[in-house]
Amino acid sequence: MQHYGRMTRVALVAAAALAVATERLVAQAAANGGTVGPPVAGSWVTAWATSQQALGEAAISNATVRLIARVTMPGETVRVRLDNSYGAEPVRIGRASIAYRVQGALVASGSTKPLTFDGRSEVSLSPGGTAWSDPVPLAVAAQQDLAVNLYLPGTNVRPSQHSNAYATSYRTPDGAGDKTADESRAPFTGSITATWWLKSIEVQSTVAGGAIVAFGDSITDGTCSTLDANDRWLNLLSTRLGLQFDEAAARAGSRATMKSLLNEGIGGNTVTRAVQPAPDSTPAVERLDRDVLSHHGVSDVIVFIGTNDLRREASVAQVTEGLAAILKRIRAAGGAAAPRVFGVTMIPRHNVAPSGANTGWNDDKSRRRRAVNDWIRTTAGFDGVLDFDAIMRDTQRPDLMAPPLNCGDGIHPSPAGYHTIGRAIPLELFSRSRDAGR
C-alpha cells in the first residue's frame, strides 16, 4: 500500500423502497452491460453520476425539466439512468430527450435526440425503481455539458433528488406541457440547483479505461464550491486525467485509454446508520450498491467519509468497522476484477460549540479523527491512501485547516483548498497494475 500526501412516514417508506431496490440493482446493471471491473473496448462505462438523497419538497405538474450534467469520458453512444430512490409513488416520465447544452438552458440546434425505454417513449419509475434508456448515437467529449430533458405529465410530482448539485438546471412553469424537443431557452423560465431523477449518464467508448467513483460526504459533494464553476477537487482531478489522456494519445495513439470520474458525495452523509439522524440521507454502507457497485466499468473507488460520524458522537471502532465493511464488499463484488479502493484521511475540523441539533466539534473528536486516520494509513488494507489530512492541515496547528484553504466554516475547503487537493493526487495511482499495493 502506498501513502499519498425519529424518521417521518415518507422517509420510512422511501428507506424501505431503497432497501428492496438495491438488492436487485447490481443484477439489473449486469443485464445492461456489465458491473464493476475494467471495461473492454467499446463497452459501457458511466461518465457522470450523482447521489440521490431525499424526496424534494418542490413539486411539478405537466411540465418539463432540463437537467444539466457534465460527462467526464468521451464516447460515441450514450444512454441515461433514471432513479426514483426516495419516491413513495410511481413517477411517469411522458417523454425524454438528450442534447448538447450551449449556455444556460439553450441547447445546440439539431442536437436533440429522443430517448426511449425498451422502445417506448415513456417510462414509469416505481418507488425505489431504476430505468436505463435505450442507447442513442451521440458523440460526446470529456467535460462536455449535456442536457437531459424529462417531461412530467403528472400533477404535484415530487422529485427524488440530489439536493445540492452546485450546477444550475432548468424547468418550465407548471402546465407548459412537453418541451423535450424545444431547443430554445424560452420555455425554461425557472431554475433549480438540485438534480431531479437523473442518476447517471453512460457512454460507449473505445478509449474507456474505467470509471473512478468518489464515494463520500459534503467535501466530495462540493460544499463551499462555486455554483456552476466546477471548482470541486473532483473537477480538477478529472481535467488532469483528460490532459493525461491527451498526452498518452499523442504518444501511443489508439492504445491510449482514460478514466471517467463520478461524484457520489452527499452533504452530511455518514458511514453507518448508528449516528445518522433524519433528515439526512441513506448512509454509505446502505447506498454502496446503488452508488458504486451498479455503475458500469468501475475500476477504482475513492472512499472519503467519516467526519460526520465523529461529529455525531460515533466511536473510532464504529467508523473503522464501517469503512472495513465497505472495503470488503467492494472487493467481494468485483471478484478477480475488483476495483482498487483508496482510503482518504479526514481533514482537520475546527472546534465549534454545540448548537441545536449540531453536537459541535471538540478536542476529543479531533483525537478520534487522528485515530481513524492512523488506521486508514497503517491498518485498513486499502490499495492506497490519499492523505488529505496532510494536504489541508496548518503546519503549526495540525488539528486546524490552513487558513487559505478553509472556506470559513472550519469544515470544508475553500475553492483554493479544493484546488490544492485536486492538484496533489498522483495520477499514476489510477494507471498502476491492479494488484499493486495489495
pLDDT band, very low/low/confident/very high, at 191 (cuts 50, 70, 90): very high
Please check whether residue 35 lies inside any domain of the structure: no
The pLDDT of residue 426: 97
My answer on whether 82 and 148 are in the same domain is: yes
- The DSSP output letter for 217 is S
Q: What is the CB-side half-sphere exposure of residue 29 using CA atoms within 13 A? A: 29
230: left (phi over 0), alpha (psi -120 to 50) or beta: left
**Residue 236 vs residue 39, higher pLDDT:** 236
My answer on whether 277 and 426 are in the same domain is: yes
Please check whether residue 26 lies inside any domain of the structure: no
The pLDDT of residue 351: 97
Q: If you average pLDDT over every residue of the chain, what do you get?
A: 91
pLDDT of 170 over the 70 cut? yes
The pLDDT of residue 378: 98
pLDDT of 42 over the 70 cut? no
pLDDT band, very low/low/confident/very high, at 13 (cuts 50, 70, 90): very low
Report the distance separating Cα 109 and Cα 13, nearest Å: 42
Which cell numbers hold the place of 66?
A: 432540463
Please check whether residue 437 lies inside any domain of the structure: no
Which cell numbers hold the place of 163?
A: 439536493
Dmax (CA) of the chain: 62
Report the distance separating Cα 325 and Cα 344, nearest Å: 15
pLDDT digit string, tens, across residues 293-328: 999 999 999 999 999 999 999 999 999 999 999 999
Nearest to 420 by CA among 385, 395, 393, 383: 393
- Does the N-terminal peptide bond of residue 279 adopt cis geometry, omega within 30 degrees of 0? yes
Please check whether residue 163 lies inside any domain of the structure: yes
- Residue 40 neighbours by CB distance under 10 Å: 9
Using CB atoms within 10 A of its CB, is residue 212 exposed (0-12), middle (13-18) or buried (19+)?
Answer: buried
DSSP secondary structure string for all residues of 337-393: GPPEEEEEPPPP---B--BTTB--B-HHHHHHHHHHHHHHHHTS--SEEE-HHHHHB
Please check whether residue 9 lies inside any domain of the structure: no
My answer on whether 120 and 236 are in the same domain is: no
My answer on whether 183 and 248 are in the same domain is: no
**Of the residues 197, 221, 238, which one is the last residue of a structural domain?**
197
| Mean local confidence (pLDDT), 336-361 | 94
| Mean local confidence (pLDDT), 158-175 | 98
My answer on whether 347 and 365 are in the same domain is: yes
How many folded domains does the chain comprise? 2
pLDDT of 5 over the 90 cut? no
Angle in degrees, 0-180, between the axes of helices 233-252 and 415-424, rounded to the nearest 10: 30
Please check whether residue 162 lies inside any domain of the structure: yes
- Output the CA–CA distances (angstroms, integers) from residue 332 to 180, 190, 326, 338, 379, in the order listed: 41, 45, 10, 7, 19
| Beta-ladder partners of 336 | none
Could you tell me the CATH number of the domain that includes residue 252? Answer: 3.40.50.1110
Report the distance separating Cα 235 and Cα 62, nearest Å: 34
My answer on whether 395 and 337 are in the same domain is: yes
Q: Which domain holds residue 252?
A: 206-430
**Of the residues 145, 178, 197, which one is the last residue of a structural domain?**
197
My answer on whether 260 and 402 are in the same domain is: yes
What share of the chain has pLDDT > 70, as a percent?
88
Tell me which H or E stretch contains 220. Answer: helix 218-221
Please check whether residue 416 lies inside any domain of the structure: yes
My answer on whether 149 and 212 are in the same domain is: no
pLDDT digit string, tens, across residues 333-345: 988 789 999 999 9
pTM: 0.92
Start-to-end Cα distance in the chain: 6
Please check whether residue 156 lies inside any domain of the structure: yes
pLDDT band, very low/low/confident/very high, at 7 (cuts 50, 70, 90): very low
The pLDDT of residue 28: 60
Helix (H, G, I), strand (E, B) or coil at 262: strand
The pLDDT of residue 235: 98
My answer on whether 286 and 361 are in the same domain is: yes
pLDDT of 159 over the 80 cut? yes
My answer on whether 131 and 223 are in the same domain is: no
Which cell numbers hold the place of 67?
A: 437537467
pLDDT of 225 over the 60 cut? yes
The pLDDT of residue 281: 79
| Mean local confidence (pLDDT), 390-416 | 98
My answer on whether 164 and 214 are in the same domain is: no
Least confident among 192-201, 272-281, 390-399, 407-416: 272-281
pLDDT digit string, tens, across residues 238-296: 999 999 999 999 998 778 899 999 999 999 999 999 886 656 679 999 999 999 999 99
The pLDDT of residue 437: 47
Report the distance separating Cα 168 and Cα 5, nearest Å: 33
CA 109 to chain centre: 29
**Of the residues 197, 217, 238, which one is the last residue of a structural domain?**
197
pLDDT of 35 over the 60 cut? no
pLDDT of 11 over the 70 cut? no
My answer on whether 68 and 166 are in the same domain is: yes
